């Protein structure tokens, strides 16, 4: 088992990184094309909800990429030694909408680093707070939870999946294929090999096939909400990845009213919960 010195990693807490970027139209157009939506997007138009994932992407040279396709660890992010990495959750608070053509400043801060012992070994939970501002106004704040873990043991049995709710007010079916995964990786400049390299996903990280991005599933789920309800201005959106989804797997996008918003989830054909989410207006 990999040994972890939590004290060393916690020295990264409160480190910050500031970047500025003009919000170009092309990644929004690329995302809409990938999702079979109207591609008409131009200067001054609103960036769609969850569109912050299209910008401030880690465009590092290939020589600075790790084996998994992510940028090499160290620098802003702590050099966690555990090999597998997963974007496990996000909690987003919305200010005003971002618009194509404007300059946005993003401040990333390491909010917390925790080491925990799980049933399958050590886990490192990294929380990153991203704050977006433009013209002196708050645009959006997102706290991302990244989880690092060891490679799976040959005899490792995955934990039993949780069951999805059975009270859906609406349900849509989708089968994310490798073409959609490739295009989403392209517009988000995501080089994580589990999303496009099947031999790597199977032989190194122990998955049966390439993995659907959690952010893509969250986007599909939110877009299903838009089609089935009268979506108003968002106040918050959050998601939790519960069970991997693989290319070609049929999933069901569902939701039910809850308080001032909706509870949302993606489930597989057996009723197992793959991703849970909530939205408030």
Residue 58 has pLDDT above 90, yes or no: no
pLDDT band at 3 (very low <50, low <70, confident <90, very high): low
Per the CB < 8 A criterion, the answer to whether 244 and 159 are in contact is no
Query: Contact 103/22 with Cβ under 8 angstroms?
Result: yes
Average pLDDT (195-215) is 94
Q: How far apart are CA 93 and CA 260, in angstroms?
A: 15
Largest CA distance in the chain: 54
DSSP code per residue over 185-222: HHHTT---GGGT-HHHHHHTS--SS-B--HHHHHHHHH
Q: For the chain, percent helix, then strand, then coil, each to nearest 5?
A: 20, 40, 45
Residue 230 has pLDDT above 70, yes or no: yes
Total domains present in the chain? 1
Residue 3 counted as domain residue = no
Q: Is the residue at 135 inside a domain?
A: yes
Full domain range(s) for residue 130? 10-280
- Supply the pLDDT for residue 7: 77
Contacting residues for 62 by C-beta, under 8 A, at least 6 apart = none
User: How big is the chain, counted in residues?
Assistant: 281
Average pLDDT, integer, range 146-170: 86
- 280 falls in which pLDDT band (50, 70, 90)? very high
Which residues lie below 8 Å from residue 155, measured CB to CB, with a gap of 6+?
none
Q: What mean pLDDT, rounded, does the chain reach?
A: 91
Higher pLDDT, 50 or 77: 50
Among 1-10, 65-74, 123-132, 221-230, the minimum mean pLDDT is found in 1-10
What pLDDT is attached to residue 63?
Answer: 76
Domain of residue 259, CATH code: 3.10.129.10
CA-CA-CA-CA torsion sign (30, 32, 33, 35): positive
237 in a domain, yes or no? yes
The answer to whether residue 5 sits within a structural domain is no
Is 57 contained in some domain?
Answer: yes
8 Å CB contact between 27 and 54: yes
Residue 274: alpha-carbon gap to chain centroid: 13
257 domain residue, yes or no: yes
Residue 133 pLDDT > 60:
yes
* pLDDT value at residue 1: 46
4 in any annotated domain? no
Q: Residue 144 pLDDT > 60, yes or no?
A: yes
- Whether the pLDDT of residue 157 is over 90: the answer is no
Q: Please report the pLDDT score of residue 2 as a whole number.
A: 55
Give me the mean pLDDT over the 69-92 stretch: 86
- Is the separation of the CB atoms in 132 and 141 below 8 Å? yes
Query: Cα(272)–Cα(260) distance, rounded to whole angstroms?
Result: 26
- pTM comes to 0.92
Closest CA to 224 of 172, 260, 274, 181: 172
Q: Is residue 1 part of a domain?
A: no
Q: Which two tokens stand for residue 3?
A: 């040994």
pLDDT (0 to 100) of residue 72: 76
Between 93 and 73, the higher pLDDT residue: 93
């Amino acid at each position: 088992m990999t040994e972890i010195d939590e004290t060393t990693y916690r020295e990264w807490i409160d480190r910050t990184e500031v970047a500025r970027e003009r919000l170009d139209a092309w990644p929004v157009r690329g995302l809409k094309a990938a999702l079979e939506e109207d591609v008409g997007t131009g200067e001054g138009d609103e960036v769609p909800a969850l569109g912050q994932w299209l910008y401030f992407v880690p465009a590092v040279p290939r020589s600075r990429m790790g084996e998994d396709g992510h940028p090499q660890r160290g620098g802003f992010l702590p050099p966690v030694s555990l090999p597998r990495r997963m974007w496990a959750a996000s909690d987003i608070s919305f200010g005003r909408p971002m618009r194509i053509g404007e300059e946005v400043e993003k401040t990333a801060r390491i909010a917390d680093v925790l080491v925990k012992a799980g049933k399958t070994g050590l886990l490192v939970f990294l929380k990153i707070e991203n704050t977006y501002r433009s013209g002196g106004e708050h645009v959006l704040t997102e706290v991302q939870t990244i989880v690092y873990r060891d490679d799976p043991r040959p005899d490792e049995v995955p934990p039993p999946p949780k069951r999805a709710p059975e009270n859906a007010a609406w349900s849509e079916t989708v089968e994310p294929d490798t073409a959609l995964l490739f295009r989403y990786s392209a517009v988000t400049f995501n080089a994580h090999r589990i999303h496009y390299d099947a031999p790597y996903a199977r032989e190194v990280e122990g998955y049966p096939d390439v993995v659907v991005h959690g952010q893509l599933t969250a986007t599909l789920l939110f877009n299903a909400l838009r089609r089935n309800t009268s979506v108003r201005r968002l106040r918050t959106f959050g998601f939790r990845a519960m069970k991997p989804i693989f290319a070609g797997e049929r999933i069901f996008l569902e939701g039910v009213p809850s308080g001032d918003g909706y509870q949302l989830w993606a489930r597989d054909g057996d009723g197992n919960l793959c991703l849970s989410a909530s939205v408030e207006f």
